[in-house]
Amino acid sequence: MNQFTFESRQKVFLAGFMGLGLLCMVLTIMFDDEYLTRFWSNYLHNSVFFTGIALMSLFTIAAFTTAWAGWYSQFKRIFEAYSLFLVPGLILMIPVIAGLWGGFHHLYHWADAESVANDPILQGKSSFLNANWYTFGTLIFMGIWIFFAWKIRQISLDEDKNGTPDWNHHRRIRAWAAAFLPIAGFTSAAVIWQWIMSVDSHWYSTLFAWYTGASWFVSGIAISIMSLAFLKSKGYYERVSEEHLHDLGKFLFAFSIFWTYLWFSQFMLIWYTNNGEETVYFFQRMNEYPVLFYGNLALNFIVPFFILMRNDTKRKYGTMIFASIVVVFGHWLDFFLMIKPGVLHTAHEISGHHGAEHGAEGAHGATDAAHHGAEHAADAAHHGAEHVANAAHDVAHHAASAFEAGFTLPGLLEIGTFLGFFAFFLYMFFSNLSKAALEPKNEPFLEESYHHHV
């Protein structure tokens, strides 16, 4: 079979998980704070995680094509279908952008005008960390990614119908792929800094974009392994062999190690320089989020390293599926740890500012009331002091709190939201996969892919 059929029961199954995700998001709103901090951090977390996987899938096509790789040609439509999630990804980012302008979320410290006015570091970064840059950078860069994904996909589909022996279509794809690689490198770094790294507005790392990109890439490889296993179980891709699985396993193994190398390099360089502005990032995560901090290394390095170190395990579907599930969940937790502490800190900071504002207003009211009577003045002063005390108490309570639901560790609402987004990603993937032949026709490297041997 060379045409995937997206069956009704598969749609219903995924729709059920999407409904679960939507329910979890609604429940998160119902039990959230006044700034909906938990809801918006969950939304940002899952939106950038799956949008990034779509970007790295397009990067994978471009890199493999430019490198004259032939082994993956048989199932390259999987990566094409993943890359088309960039369109829903852009739609998912629009509410985040709208929130910057409307002020109905506090994901980013640099988006709070009062914080910037009183913070020299944020003022110094304001030429890049601002709503204009965030908005137009996201829209323009993602628009470019979508154009390249669409263009490469259209040439690939046209090759099925009008392919010629002179490799004309393949040369065109390779030209577009080569052009995309440097564009992806620069633009992905910019949006990573905006979307994720700027959550911790005072902190920065020159390795962060590489680190995040590696996390997206290895997650995409893990999902492709699970997708291939599912499709083969349904009778598709009969000529995909253990050798193809082995190659994907090598990528999963190698880039898990590469991710760890970047993690350690980032950590080691920051620890060695001992610059307070930089060390605060790891100090906070090691001391306040130890389970996630060390669990991150366990799930994303130790588990895949020891499972995939042997050659034979990379040829076994059961082992590869287990390793892939661990890797996808592990890197989702990695993004959780990237985003949640910074968002929580920002929420506490802004809450403290607003509490102080209320206290100042109460004190000002006391002064005005003095003109009308000592009794009114005393009441206003009392309320002003009460506001200040409450604000200080809230900030101190949050700072000293040992556990924050949905932040210290993912709760059931976070897991449910993740499953809903994952189901949405897979729904769009299967929908796009069903619109073209699974194996590309007239692909010049198809025969090489059929007879691939390691």
> 143-163: per-residue pLDDT in tens?
999 999 999 999 999 998 887
List the beta strands (DSSP E) in 272-417: none
Q: Which amino acid is at 317?
A: Y
Q: What is the pLDDT of residue 210?
A: 95
Does residue 48 fall inside a structural domain?
Answer: yes
The strand pairing partners of 437, in sequence order, are: 3
Residues 6+ apart with CB under 8 A from 143: 90
Whether the per-residue pLDDT at 375 is higher than 60: the answer is no
pLDDT attached to residue 399: 42
Tell me if 14 is assigned to some domain: yes
Average pLDDT over residues 330-352: 90
Instruction: Give pLDDT, residue 361.
Output: 46
In a domain, 1, yes or no: no
Name the residue with tokens 């995909």. Answer: 240
Considering the domain boundaries, does residue 20 fall inside one?
yes
In the chain, pLDDT over 90 holds for what percent of residues?
74
Q: How many CB atoms lie within 10 A of CB 289?
A: 20
Give the C-alpha separation, 163 to 176, whole Å: 17
Average pLDDT for residues 350-374, to the nearest whole number? Answer: 48
User: Residue 405's pLDDT is what?
Assistant: 82
Q: Across residues 48-60, what is the average pLDDT?
A: 98
Identity of the residue numbered 182: P
Alpha-helical (H) ranges within 234-316 are 242-273, 276-288, 290-297, 303-308
Closest CA to 338 of 93, 53, 118, 44: 44
Q: Mean per-residue pLDDT for 402-428?
A: 93
What is the rounded average pLDDT of the residues 29-42? Answer: 93
Residue range 90-94: mean pLDDT, rounded: 98
Q: What is the pLDDT of residues 421-443, one digit of tens each?
A: 999 999 999 999 999 999 998 88
Say how many C-beta atoms besides its own lie within 10 A of residue 6's C-beta. Answer: 15
Residue 391 and residue 356 in contact, taking contact as beta carbons nearer than 8 Å: yes
**Per residue in 323-358, is it b (16+ CB within 10 Å) or e — as a string?**
bbebbbbbbbbbbbebbbbbbbbbbbbbbbebbbeb
DSSP H or E run through 206:
none
CA geometry: angle 378, 381, 383, nearest 5 deg: 110
pLDDT confidence band for 177 (50 / 70 / 90): very high
pLDDT, average across residues 263-276: 88
Query: What band does 390 get if pLDDT is binned at 50, 70 and 90?
Result: very low
d(CA 266, CA 83): 29
pLDDT, position 166: 76
Average pLDDT for the chain: 88
Confidence bin at 415 (pLDDT 50/70/90): very high
User: Mean of the pLDDT values across residues 335-341?
Assistant: 96
C-alpha 421/C-alpha 375 separation (Å) is 57
Question: Residue 207's pLDDT is what?
Answer: 93
Domain coverage including residue 203: 8-450
Residue for token pair 């500012």: 353
The pLDDT value recorded for residue 396 is 37
In three-state secondary structure terms, 152 is: helix
* DSSP per residue, 216-240: HHHHHHHHHHHHHHHHHHTT--TT-
Confidence of residue 322 (pLDDT cuts 50, 70, 90): very high
Cα atoms in the 13 Å half-sphere on the side-chain side of 159: 26
The domain total for the chain is 1
Q: Is 3 inside any structural domain?
A: no
Domain presence at residue 81: yes
In degrees to the nearest 10, what's the CA dihedral of 430, 41, 60, 441?
Answer: 10
Report yes or no on 101 lying in a domain: yes
Inside any domain, residue 2: no
